[in-house]
Amino acid sequence: MVLTTGRLRTPDGHDIAYDQIAPAPGFKGPGVVFLHGLASDRKGTKVLALAEHCARRGCGFLAIEMYGHGESTGQFVDGGPSRWRDDAVLALDKLTHGPQLVIGSSMGGWIMLLTALARPERIAGLIGIAPAPDFTEDLLWDLLDDARRTEMLANGFVEHRQDDGVTVMRLSLHLVEDGRKNLLLGAPIGIDAPVSLLHGQNDISVPWDRSLKIATQLTSSAVQIHLIKDGDHRLSRPQDLALLTAEVDRLLAGA
């Protein structure tokens, strides 16, 4: 597996870090693009599994780190769906050619949908892994009590301890306000490409019925939902990765 690491300069002078595998000579099918979750990066188990799978298939593969994440530049607290969508669209435009199968994990599932709306002609299919569109509203702002909302309004952020009980990240007022500009679930989502949604029913971060809502709102008639009864939010166990790569094969075969 020949993995190229690079940095893509944005119009305002920031860098998007990425890893990429070129398609095998003569390969004509779509490539695969992976979009990570909130406060995550391009180095996780799912990325490695996808990279190895794409290398075996001979298709291209791209994993980016959006603004304020991983090795990309920018401050995490200044990021939001608009900026992360722009990063994904720029990477799609500058680093890939032809149709792509876009995969989004958690927050990346929101960015995946926004990217598909921005570049419908470039989308061969979508795979959402515990996709979390609109999470800034009903899974963040709506869950803050009055004291925490007052703190966010006064300071511009609140500290949030992640599910591991150790890692702390700053969730900004900008993230919430920018999220409101990009809400999707209140109206039809005009995406007609094939879509697969994978969601664990033991997910304590993004409720599994979020995938049902997405499927209802998508205009595509080719939507499949896979509910993993004992699956958690990460879906990174061997059996979860096997399902993910099987869905990659299914959607690439139909492209």
Blockwise average pLDDT, block size 10, the chain, 255 residues:
92 97 94 96 95 97 97 96 98 97 98 98 98 97 95 93 71 97 98 98 97 98 98 97 98 91
Q: How far is CA 65 from CA 8, 37, 116, 150, 186, in A?
A: 10, 10, 18, 31, 28
Catalytic residue status for 233: yes
Give residue 3's identity as a one-letter amino acid code.
L
Rg of the chain on CA atoms, in Å: 17
Please list the residues that pair with 128 across neighbouring strands.
Answer: 104, 197
Q: How many CA atoms lie within 13 A of 235 on its CB side?
A: 31
Q: State whether residue 60 is helix, strand or coil.
A: coil
pLDDT value at residue 184: 98
Query: Could you tell me the pTM of the whole model?
Result: 0.96
CA angle 132, 135, 140 (to 5 degrees): 145
Strand spans (E) along 97-177: 100-105, 123-129, 157-161, 168-172
pLDDT value at residue 92: 98
pLDDT value at residue 146: 95
- Choosing from 106, 172, 196, 211, the catalytic residue is 106
Q: Which two tokens stand for residue 102?
A: 């876009």
Q: Which of 11, 182, 36 is nearest to 90 (CA)?
A: 11
pLDDT value at residue 166: 62
pLDDT value at residue 154: 96
Catalytic residue status for 106: yes
Query: How far apart, in whole angstroms, are the C-alpha atoms of residue 76 and residue 144?
Result: 20
Q: Residues near 203 by Cβ (< 8 Å), separated by ≥ 6? A: 130, 231, 232, 233
pLDDT value at residue 163: 63
- Choosing from 87, 203, 211, 240, the catalytic residue is 203
pLDDT value at residue 165: 58
Q: State whether residue 21 is helix, strand or coil.
A: strand
- What domains sit in the chain, N to C, each tagged with a CATH number? 4-135+185-254 (3.40.50.1820)
Q: Which two tokens stand for residue 56?
A: 């075996």
